[in-house]
Amino acid sequence: MSSGEERHVPVMLRRCLDLLEPALTRPGAVVVDCTLGLGGHSQALLEAHPQARLIGLDRDPDALKLAGERLAPYGDRVTLVHAVYDELPDVLRRLGVPGADGILFDLGVSSMQLDEAGRGFAYAQDAPLDMRMDQSTGISAAEVLNTYAPGELVRILRAYGEEKQAKRIVEAVVRERAREPFTHSARLVELIRAALPQAVKRTGGNPAKRTFQALRIEVNGELRALERAIPAAVSSLALHGRIAVLSYHSLEDRLVKQVLAAGAASTAPPGLPVVPERYQPRLRLLTRGSELPSEEEIETNRRAAPARLRGAERVREEAQP
């Protein structure tokens, strides 16, 4: 297994550092990497802010091990925790941290998970249909395919994969699983190719991409966790703390946009001549819409292509009841 440093190119690294930088200059600043992965963003944050302390979360024990090796030179400035990102408030409470000065999310599947064939995330190579980010818990993608009702599979492919051909694919899956349960990715890719009309297969890259995305999101409960995680992260920010979120598909980006936009809006009833403090926005948006990677970055790191970056600053404390 190659080192994390060799295998991981952090997406939109410079811009993430720029967004978080003003919040991390104070002594003793705490920055949380909610999606540690192989530690590329975390290492850059530690290098850029020698006085800062980093807390790194990841649900994948393999990622924690590799990132731990990479970040070992930073000693007690680093605390790594096996946790899903929606557990952030509990993690901070256990560590005695009242609020984070910087919070980073780099959503989606990590380079390591894509590159390790045995994990079953990549449709380009045959592997067991697992897709669990934490292989010690939960159900695999094979179990989803083999046991979910047809209507539920159609819902998942449409909602999480935005797959217009969901019904056609699921009909083929149900026929095939009755003959023999699914175990490996190559068979599923072959089935999807056979099920889709020629016109569909000519556009949009690998035709299995959306189905694999949908299965991964379902297996890991990603959107359900994200729905809890982004509001929790905003509430965990210290005053003038900053959050940066990298998303990789429209479902994630839409959810992040909604939470940040709501935080940046006044909650005052219409018609008030003066807006009381408790109704003032608690966030200030740092990005105009979602920012995209440069063409140069996409040329050198193709996994950056779908990235969308949003950021916000905490400008008001929680209103007291």
d(CA 238, CA 143): 42
Q: Are residues 62 and 112 in contact, defined by beta-carbon separation less than 8 angstroms?
A: yes
Q: Answer yes or no: is 101 a known binding residue.
A: no
CB contact set of 236 (below 8 Å; sequence gap of 6+) = 32, 88, 89, 92, 99, 100, 103
Distance between alpha carbon 179 and the CA centroid of its chain, in Å?
A: 36
Of 282, 280, 290, 278, the closest CA to residue 321 belongs to: 278
Q: Is 28 marked within a binding site?
A: no
Rounded to whole angstroms, the Cα distance separating 257 from 180 reads 42
Q: How many CB atoms lie within 10 A of CB 46?
A: 20
Task: Determine if residue 39 is labeled as part of a ligand binding site.
Answer: yes
Q: Which residues pair with 32 in a beta bridge?
A: 55, 103
- Decide if 141 contacts 129 (C-beta within 8 A): yes
| Long-range CB pairs of 202-208, under 8 A, 24+ apart, other chains included | 206/123, 206/124, 208/123
Q: Across the strands, what pairs with 284? A: 313
**Distance in angstroms (rounded) separating the CA atoms of residues 71 and 175:** 48
The DSSP result for 43-106, as a single string, is: HHHHHH-TT-EEEEEES-HHHHHHHHHHHGGGGGGEEEEE--GGGHHHHHHHHT-S-EEEEEEE
- Residue 106 is labelled as binding a ligand: yes
Measured CA to CA, the distance from residue 173 to residue 2 in angstroms comes to 36
3-class SS of residue 223: helix
Binding positions: 39-41, 58, 85, 106, 113
Binding positions for S-adenosyl-L-methionine: 39-41, 58, 85, 106, 113
